[in-house]
Chains A and B, each alone.
Chain A
Amino acid sequence: MLNRTIAPHITNAVDFHPALPPYKKFVLKNGVEVYALDLGELDTLMVNLVFSAGNLYEEKNLVAATANYLLKNGTSKKTAFQINEHFEYYGSYLNRSCQNESAEISLHCLGKYVNELLPVIAEMITDSVFPQEELGIYIKNMQQRLQVSLMKSDFVAGRLIDAYLFGEKHPYGKFASMIDYASLEQDEIKIFYQQFYQQGHCVIFIAGKLPADIIDELEKNFGSLPLHPWNEKIKNIEHPIIPAAAKKYNVVNDVNGVQGSVRIARNFPNRHHPDFQKAGMLNNIFGGYFGSRLMANIREDKGYTYGIHSYLMNHIQESAWMISTEAGKDVCAATIEEVYKEMKLLRGELIDEEELQTARNFMIGTILGDLDGPFQVVGRWKNIILNDLDEKYFYNGVHIIKAISAEELQELAQKYLQPEDFYELVVV
C-alpha cells in the first residue's frame, strides 16, 4: 500500500548546474556587434536592435519615447499603414520600446521570412520622416491613455515612488504630463532620431533557429550604415540622483477607491556592487516568491491582499529595493506594519536551514525553468551585456544561491532592511 505521507526522493539544487548556452559574437563592418544564439527546433526567430537612445539622452521629456514609438509610422517611401501591413503580412511582430538607457526595435518572425523584413527595419532607422499627422494622432491618443492610467492607484503610486527614489529630474524618476505630450515638436523628434538612430550606437541580439545566411543579411542591411558600436562612449551625460527628503506619503487619488497601492522602497546600489546578488537571495526569502515571508504572512495568513512582492529594480546606474502590493483600503496600515515586522525578524534572527534550503532549491529551479528556449536565454545575455558584465555574473549568482550562509543574510538584513531608510507611500 502506497504511503502518501512520505515524500519521494528529491534531488537538491546543489546538484543542479544551470548553464547559460554561449553566444557567438560577430562584428559588422561598421563595428556594430551581433550576439547570436542558435537554439531551438521551431522556425522562429528574434532580431533585437538595441540603441543607446533611451530617455537618458533626451533634453526634453518624452522625446526619446516618441522617436522610438514613431519609428514605425512612416518613411519617405512608405506610409505607416504600408509598414505595418508589410510586417503583418509575413505574420511577424515588430515591437519597439524605450527604456532609460536603451531603446529597442524587436522583430519576432518565422525564419523563412526574415529576409523580407530586415530591409524595412533598415529603412526605418535610416529614413523615418515622423509625419506631422502621425505625431498629432500619437499625442492625442497617448494623452487619452494617460488620462485613463491616472485614475489607477497602482500607476500613480509607481510614478511617485520612482520620483522619491531618484528625483523628478532623473530619467528613472521623471514622468509624463499632458502638457509634455502637447509640447512635442516634430523637429526635436527628428533631431533626436538623427543623432541616436541614424548615427546612433547600436548592438544586435539574435536568437532562435538561425538561418544559415543571417549574418550576411545583417551585414548587408546594417553593416554599411553610419552606426557606432553601442559601447563606444557617446558624451558625458550625468544625471545626479536626488532622492526626496521626506519619507512618508499618503495620497488620495480616488475618493471611492476600495484598495490602496502600497509601495515601500529604498535606494540600492547597482549590479556591480558585491552585495547586489547576495541581496537578491535575501530578497527572495523576504518577498521574492510565493513561499516568501511577505506572501506567507500578508496574503496566505492574513488575506490582506491578492499578492505582495519585493524585488530589486532592474536599473543600470542605481537600483532600488521595492516592496509592492495592492491591499484593502482598511488594511493598508496593518500591511505596512507587517512588512516592517518581517524586516525586523530578518535582522534579529538567523534564517533556519530548512527555509534557506527551500529558497536555494526554488531559485535554482527557477533559473533552470527560465532558460526555456532561445528568447529567454538571449534575454539573460542581453541583461548581462547591457550592464557591462560577463558570464561570471551568472555563475557567481548561481554560486551565491547555493552557498550563502544564514549569517551573511542576517548581516545584509541589518545593513539594508532598516525601516528608516525606506520611503513609504500609500495611494488610494
Chain B
Amino acid sequence: MIRFEKFQLKNGLRVIVHEDSSTPMAVLNVLYDVGAKDENPDKTGFAHLFEHLMFGGSVNIADFETPLQIAGGENNAFTTNDFTNYYVQLPAENIETAFWLESDRMLSLAFSEKSLEVQRKVVCEEFKEHYINKPYGDVWFKLRELAYKQHPYRWMTIGKELSHIENAKLSDAKNFFFRHYCPANAVLVLAGNIKTAQIKELAEKWFGSIPGGEKYIRKLPPEPVQMEARKLEVKAEVPLDALYKAYHMASRNEDGYYFAELITEVLGGGSSSRLHQSLVKEKKLFSHIECHQTGSVDAGLLVIEGRLIKGVDMMEADKAVDEEIEKIRANKIDEKELTKVKNKTEAAILFEDMSLMNRAASLAIYELLGDANLMNTELAKYQSVTTEQILEESRKIFDDKNSNTLYYYSNN
C-alpha cells in the first residue's frame, strides 16, 4: 500500500505527495501528458528531441544541471510514445532547489539556438547508437509500421528517420512547448523525506503563479480493426534469422490489458514459460524466444520475438510458434500456471516499488491514467483474473487476422 495525498493548484496542476521518512532523499517528478503519439507525421522524434532541449536552460536560469549538482542532486528524463517524464533526486533538505529549477522550465525555456544545434547532433548520435549501428536495430521501425496504419504508434519515439531530427527548428520547439508544457497538462509528484504541509507551501510558491494553459485535447486517429493477416520479409546484415509476431491488444484502461499481460507471462515469462520450454529446450528451433507487450496507453501490441537456430527453416519455426498459440487458444491454462504468473506479477510489483524514484514515477503515471490510487488496486486486478478470461482473451488476440508477422532473414 503506497500512501499519498493529492491536491490541485488553482492553475490546474495536480500535485501528489508520498511521504517516506526511511530515506534521507527526496524525489521531484514531473510527468507531461505528451509523447511521440502527439507528433506531426512529418516531424517525428520531436517529443524526445524536445526533452533534450528542456536541459538547455530556462527563462530565468541559464544552467539547469549545475545548481542541481551543487544541491547534491541528479536527474534524468525519458520519453515514450505516450508520456514525457522528468525526475530529480536530491537530499531532502535541498528539495526547494528542485522546485526552483523545475518550475522555471515549466514557466518557459531559454530556447537557445546553440542548445538546439548541439542536441540535434546528440540525438542523431543516440539514434545511430541504438538503431543503426546495431544488428536488428531497425526491427521496431518495421514492426510498428506493419501493425499500425493510422495511429501514431506507427513511428518510434526516437523518430521515423534522422532527417526529421536534423530539420527541427526553434519555432517548432516554441510551438510544442506552449501547446504541451503547462500546468494543465502535467502531474507533479513529490516523494521521500518530506512533509505534505511543507510541499503545499512550496508548490504554491514556485508553481502557483505559472499560467495554467489549455488542456491539450488529442484527437488521434483510432487504429482500424485489422481485417487480415499481414506479413513482411526483410533481409539484413545479421548473422541469424529472426521471427517477430505482433498482435493488437487492449488499451491500458481495459480489463483486457491485465489478461494480455498475464498471457505474455504464460508464454514468455522466464525459463519455465511455454515458448522457452517448447521451442528452445524441447524442439531446439530457437536460441532465444520471448513474449512481451508494449504497455501502451492506447491499444498496444503483444509481441513474440525469437532468434532461430542456424539452419532452421523460417516456416517451420513460425509453424511451431503457431502450435503453441493454438494450445493457449484451445484449452484453459492450468490453475497452477495461473497462480505462478500471478505470484510473479505480485513480486514484480513489490520489487519495483522498493525504489523511491519508481514509486514517484508510478504515482504520476497512474494519475495521468485516471487516478494515482490505481497503483494500489493494480495487484487485485491481476489476482482476480480467471483461466476462462485468459482463454477468451487468447482467442481474441491470437486471431490470425490480427497478426503481423515479420520474417527477418540473415543475408549470409
Query: Which A residues lie at the B interface, using CB under 8 A?
Result: 2, 4-5, 7-11, 13, 16, 40-44, 72, 80-81, 84-85, 88-93, 108-110, 137, 140-141, 144-145, 147-148, 150-153, 254, 256-259, 289-291, 299-306, 326-328, 357-359, 361-362, 364-366, 368-369, 372-373, 375
Contacts and interface: CB of A to CB of B under 8 A. Distances in A.
A79 to B, nearest CB: 9
B133 A258 contact: yes
Interface in B7-32: 22-25
Contact of A81 (B96, B129, B277): B277
A327 B340 CA distance: 45
A365 B71 contact: yes
B281 A80 contact: yes
Nearest to A108: B351
A89 B354 contact: no
A373 B119 CA distance: 35
B119, B124, B287 — which one has the most chain A CB atoms within 10 A of its CB? Answer: B287
B93 A151 contact: no
A196 B123 CA distance: 47
A291 B277 contact: no
Contacts of B61: 4-5
A90 B344 CA distance: 7
Contacts of B25: 368-369, 372
B72 A304 contact: no
Contacts of B122: 299-300, 303, 305-306
B125 A305 contact: yes
Contacts of B103: 4
A300 B126 contact: no
B287 A4 contact: no
B102 to A, nearest CB: 12
Given A81-B277, A365-B90, A44 B271 contact: no
Contact of A148 (B23, B97, B239): B239
Given A4-B100, A258-B132, A16 B272 contact: no
Contacts of A361: 69-72
Interface in B32-79: 59-61, 65-67, 69-74
A364 B119 CA distance: 29
B29 to A, nearest CB: 14
30 contacts: A4-B104, A8-B96, A16-B91, A40-B354, A41-B22, A44-B350, A81-B281, A85-B340, A88-B271, A88-B272, A91-B343, A93-B347, A140-B309, A141-B287, A144-B288, A144-B310, A147-B240, A148-B135, A148-B136, A148-B240, A151-B135, A299-B118, A303-B121, A305-B122, A361-B70, A362-B70, A368-B25, A368-B91, A372-B25, A375-B354
B94 interface: yes
B336 interface: yes
B355 A373 contact: yes
A365 B24 CA distance: 10
